[in-house]
Amino acid sequence: MPVSRRYLRVLAITASVAVFAGVGTAAAAVRLRPFHSAPRGRSTARTTTARRTTARTITVGTVTLRQCAGSAPAQAYCARINVPYQYGNPAAGTIKLGFQWYPASSGTATGTIMAIQGGPGYATTDYASAYYSLFADGGIGGGQDLLGGDNLLLVNLRGTGDSSPFTCRALQDWDLADGTRAYAIDTGKCGYQLNHTRKLRGGKGYVRGSDLYTTAIAARDVATLLNRLEVGKVNLYGDSYGTFFSQVFTARYARLLDSVTLDAAYPVSQTDPWYPHTIMTARTAFTLACERSVACSRAAPGSSWARIAAFAGYLRRHPVTGKTMDAYGDVLTETVGVDQLIELVNIAGEDAMTYRELDPAIRAAAQHHDDAPLLRLAAIEIYTGNSGPANQFNDGSYQATTCLDYPQPFSYLASPARRQRQYDAAVARLPKRLFAPFTVHEWVTEPAEEFDACLDWPAPPRNFRPVNLTPRPYAPANLPVLVLSGDLDSLTTPYEGQQTARDMGPSARWILIHNDVHINAMDDTYGCASGLVDTFIADPAGLKTMNASCADHTPEVRVLGSFPEKLSQVIPATATAGNEAHVTGLRLAADAVAVVGDANWNWYYGDGVHGFGLRGGTADFSGPATATVVRYHDVKWTTDTTVSGRELWNQDSGWVRAWLTVRGPNGAKATVYLRYHDYVWHSVTMITGRYDGRAISARMPSP
């Protein structure tokens, strides 16, 4: 399903942490160098006409750009051009369309890559570092430097970033505590605001702004910009909603394109407003994730989804409430009921942390009445605040686009009161088990879903066609289109990715990235998807024969085997040759490994400096990505153990080494040295050390 605004906000927060940290995702940063085929020739049709005028300005086509203020991943130039606010109506005036331009580093460009961010509502330029990394060196995994010979163009669609943003204050300030009805009301007020803000020039009345933020209009803006830049055909990359935009743009302006990449794609042709493939994908994805993880499959064979379903029934009777600590060390009271479980199930589609922890956290709560892991997961993953500054994520822009471009369970031709009746009737017609184990009522009223958000949006004209696509296929036969999906992505699902490829036509190729969630190349953690994108853009004509075997072999999400509350519940490490320690020593060793894995995973969600143990203690992070030092201070993985010591974490290579002291009940103590490679399939941690005067020699699945 198109990502809801609540999940978008979680994406923004976790992505910003990753960008500042120099990585590409909020999940475990796994960076393998992918297979890259040699480029087989560049399109001679791709040229650029940039001429330098001063040290601080350049002219591209008919547009003069100045060096961007502030930091940027490379020398960047910024500009804004005027585009009509309402095409065909000069009295509506103009708005600004902002963009960043990165000239090819070689000084001689043979083409241009254009990226469009998801949302809708996000500024593309806010993710400049991630895009630059993707195209300059194949993402985190390394690879071809496309930006040696290609320019990079990042465009903020109308209403986002510096492209004449607007603020619908009540909508921007809404949070979960306000409830879904308040969100629908605030959305309607936003539409009214857009219709009563900009006055017509030289006449009476206002411009109907509520109709002017559709994807088709945004595509026309971008086509206007490309014509003014005179760059020739571009390689278009869109992620999440950017794939929706890219389908519309391709259908209308294919003549401006050399290739199209759709990353985490969902189809413009989608007509079902309930997006049933979200829950259908989740039902299989949680079990797949557990089965592929050595620790989880050994500790909890069977259906992970069945355990989630049973827990939903438990939560209806006994919501879990208690104090916990989030990734920033703030203590808060958290409640997990059915609403929160639904949100966690959906968040998993874009954040592998939930796949990693939800099943074992549920088992800890259901089997041992240990609620600490579940409460912490909810505190970290479920965002309850407002939407923040509109120039970072514009909630009004999000609704102004989705209310008209996405399918709705009512007709805009009806009055507001009749729309509500149509919506209620549509809900009543849904099969009772469509969202099982959740009821229809639970699913559609969960605050993050917002199926009824557009009930009060102003009705567009009767002849209004928001997307206005040409008939399928959307891409001509000579335009290569790469479509990517993650097989654990329940937000823009594999089914929808396949449908998108069919809609684009026979020139499209769909590739499924195993063990990946929402957004594959820009948020790449393995180097496979980013390498495929770079290889494709370097040689679009080679799409059909491009080697994509890495997509079948990306490392698994390492779902935890369990959350033990006591040392006696810890699954001991497996003894290897030379081990002399008995089971307590092997449990202490396993406890140390778990602490390291937990700290490294949670680093992506905090401030990057301070970490906090599940049940107490702290960890401090310092140093560069290639030599991050982690110091542990009495970290408690279980209630009766503490871990202290030092870790050396190379986030670029994936190697982890740690020297730790573990203390347990009754004076038990072990000193251990552990090492593992974080970025490989079924990674194994090797452990040596001493316990009670005896040698420890062991191994276990990496955390």
- 124-143 pLDDT, tens digit each: 999 999 999 999 976 554 56
- 167-198 pLDDT, tens digit each: 999 999 999 889 899 999 999 999 999 999 99
> In this predicted structure, what is the pLDDT of residue 523?
79
Q: How would residue 6 be classed by pLDDT, with cut points 50, 70 and 90?
A: very low
SS3 state of residue 187: helix
User: In the block, which residue shows the tokens 């542990």?
Assistant: 632
> In this predicted structure, what is the pLDDT of residue 577?
98
pLDDT at 513 over 90: yes
* Interval 104-131 mean pLDDT: 96
* Interval 566-582 mean pLDDT: 98
> Which stretches within 430-581 are classed as H helix?
440-445, 494-504, 528-538
> In this predicted structure, what is the pLDDT of residue 55?
59
Peptide bond into 437 cis (omega under 30): yes
> In this predicted structure, what is the pLDDT of residue 4?
57
> In this predicted structure, what is the pLDDT of residue 202?
84
Distance CA 296, CA 290 (A): 5
Cβ neighbours of residue 532 closer than 8 Å, sequence gap 6 or more: 34, 482, 484, 511, 521, 546, 548, 550, 551
Distance CA 528, CA 521 (A): 8
Distance CA 562, CA 560 (A): 6
- 216-251 pLDDT, tens digit each: 999 999 999 999 999 999 999 999 999 999 999 999
* Interval 381-398 mean pLDDT: 94
Q: How would residue 71 be classed by pLDDT, with cut points 50, 70 and 90?
A: low
Cβ neighbours of residue 312 closer than 8 Å, sequence gap 6 or more: 338, 341, 437, 438
> In this predicted structure, what is the pLDDT of residue 29?
27
Answer whether 172's CB lies under 8 Å from 403's CB.
no
pLDDT at 449 over 90: no
* Interval 326-344 mean pLDDT: 97
Q: How far is CA 81 from CA 84, 100, 249, 310, 334, in A?
A: 10, 12, 19, 56, 47
Measure CA of the first residue to CA of the last residue in the chain; give whole Å. Answer: 31
- 368-378 pLDDT, tens digit each: 999 999 999 99
Q: How would residue 2 be classed by pLDDT, with cut points 50, 70 and 90?
A: low
pLDDT at 685 over 80: yes
pLDDT at 428 over 90: yes
* Interval 142-162 mean pLDDT: 92
Q: What are phi and psi of 626, to 5 degrees?
A: -80, -15
SS3 state of residue 701: strand
Distance CA 504, CA 487 (A): 20
Q: Please indicate whether residue 468 or residue 15 has the higher confidence score (pLDDT).
A: 468
Distance CA 288, CA 304 (A): 8
pTM: 0.93
Domains within the chain, CATH numbers bracketed: 45-163+203-270+474-552 (3.40.50.1820), 564-703 (no CATH)
SS3 state of residue 101: strand
Per cent of the chain over pLDDT 90 is 85
pLDDT at 395 over 60: yes
> Which stretches within 412-559 are classed as H helix?
416-429, 440-445, 494-504, 528-538
pLDDT at 579 over 50: yes
Q: How would residue 534 be classed by pLDDT, with cut points 50, 70 and 90?
A: very high
Mean pLDDT of the chain: 91
- 600-657 pLDDT, tens digit each: 999 999 999 999 999 999 999 999 999 999 999 999 999 999 999 999 999 989 999 9
Q: How would residue 470 be classed by pLDDT, with cut points 50, 70 and 90?
A: confident
Q: Indicate the DSSP class of residue 336.
A: E
Please give the structure tokens belonging to residue 368: 């041992």
